[in-house]
Chain A
Amino acid sequence: MAHALTIFIAAILTHNIALTYLLGMCPFISLSRSIKTAFGMSIAVIFVVTLTAAINWPIYHKILVPLESEIIYYIVFIIVIAASVQLVEMIMERFFPPLQAAFGIFLPLITVNCTVLAVSLFMVLRDYSYGMTLVFALGSAVGWMLAIMIVAAINEKLKLIGDIPGGLKGSGIIMIIAGIIALAFMGFGGMVDIN
């Protein structure tokens, strides 16, 4: 149990998927211009990352490993991700139309969000058990949310000041903000050890 908590905290703070592993950067840059879109995307990411990790683990360990066909796991994972995103979208459309309207536009984008695939790949590389995988997936997604929300909030405040050099506007300034936040997150280093 203690170990699961360690993984959870490590995935959020010391091994943050956005600020330490630099993953999920494309949506990070395009969506961190306002808090509202950043929030919508993060909720969708939390949901999809946890769901796909929960599906990919049994597929990898119960089907691919016994059949000795680990070599195709990239293809299998990406299909699972694309299919489950599609499925979630259809279910939401049918049963929760308001929810669909709120973050439906973010769902198709998630398929190419590297966070989702990365969590599944880390799960294989680090040989997590099923429970650990779920905790790690949830922690990573929450960590991603934390990072994008901080950057989006700073970015909104910066817009009010509005004295940014022309060439830095847009993605440039987001990189710089993210760099400073990543420096700050390094302060958490050594708090918990993931190995």
Chain B
Amino acid sequence: MVLKKLFGPEGYKILKKGIWREHPIFAAGLGICSALAVSNKVENAVAMGAGVTFVLIATAIIVSTLRSLIPQRVRIITYMITIASFVIIVDKFLKAFFPVISESVGPYVGLIITNCIIMGRAEAFYIQNKVYHSVLDAVSNGLSYSYTLITIAIVREVLGFGTLLGFRVMPGGWENWVVMTMAPGAFFLLGLALWISRAIAERGSAEEEA
């Protein structure tokens, strides 16, 4: 309840909605490309999650500040240019400070531009709401994107490489599940995660109705 006081009732609702009820990956099915592609190692997932969160927050600030100035007809291209500019910052930052991650994440950083989460939130929320609420929404969406990515990445890295953040965690005789590091593993795991989250969500809504 500290959170409720801290952000105000309205802000708290927005935060909660993004993190569970309207979870961008599970409930809305957005941003799946990158969720699948960069979740093979935890460090990649952390970098990607932080990058997307940064771009989301920056876009939220820009778009909601300028919301009364952006003409209706060119709003999509405005989002795109805003997003693309911040993605360049993320890309250059990774290249300069984390060259190894930048190398292995490759083109997927550039593809944050077409990550539907950012575009979708801009169109659905930031263009109509105040800066403060938009930033809260960006934080909660960014957080839920990151925690999902990191959870999937933990499973994939432990099973596929036998390591966690590069440290060996599996016993010596462990045979790596190579398939986990590749595309099929990503599909299966995300499918499973979707299944679990749906099942929990359905139970939750059934209880609310009862």
Contacts and interface: CB of A to CB of B under 8 A. Distances in A.
Given A23-B111, A24-B33, A167 B188 contact: no
A72 B86 CA distance: 11
A78 B29 contact: no
Given A25-B36, A75-B84, A118-B107, A179 B187 contact: yes
A105 interface: no
B13 interface: no
Nearest to B119: A112
Given A75-B85, A168-B195, A186 B36 contact: no
A122 B195 CA distance: 33
A72 B114 contact: no
A121 B113 CA distance: 12
A91 interface: no
Contacts of A79: 77, 80-81
A113 B111 CA distance: 10
Interface string B183-205: 11111101100111011001000
Interface in B108-139: 110-111, 113-116, 119
Contact of B191 (A74, A125, A179, A186): A179
Interface residues of B, number: 42
B113 A74 contact: yes
A134 B190 CA distance: 33
Nearest to A86: B77
Contacts of B185: 179
Interface residues of A, number: 43
Nearest to A27: B116
B190 A175 contact: yes
A178 interface: yes
B101 interface: no
A156 B191 CA distance: 18
Interface stretch (A14-22, A38-46, A49-57): A14-22
A180 B185 CA distance: 9
Contacts of A71: 88, 92
A79 to B, nearest CB: 7
- Interface secondary structure of B, over-half rule: helix
B119 A26 contact: no
B33 A25 contact: yes
Most interface-central of B179, B182, B185 (chain A CB within 10 A): B182
B30 interface: yes
Given A74-B87, A74-B110, A171 B194 contact: yes
Contacts of A21: 37, 183
B159 to A, nearest CB: 15
B132 to A, nearest CB: 27
A143 to B, nearest CB: 13
Interface in B54-100: 76-77, 80-81, 84-85, 87-88, 91-92
A180 B187 CA distance: 8
Contacts of A10: none
A182 B198 contact: no
B191 A22 contact: no
B76 A111 contact: yes
A35 to B, nearest CB: 20
A153 interface: no
The 3 nearest A-B residue pairs measured at CB: A179-B187, A175-B191, A167-B198
29 contacts: A22-B37, A22-B187, A25-B36, A26-B29, A26-B31, A29-B29, A74-B110, A78-B81, A79-B81, A112-B116, A114-B33, A116-B114, A117-B111, A118-B107, A118-B111, A121-B107, A121-B111, A125-B107, A166-B202, A168-B198, A172-B194, A176-B187, A179-B185, A179-B188, A182-B182, A182-B187, A183-B184, A186-B182, A186-B184
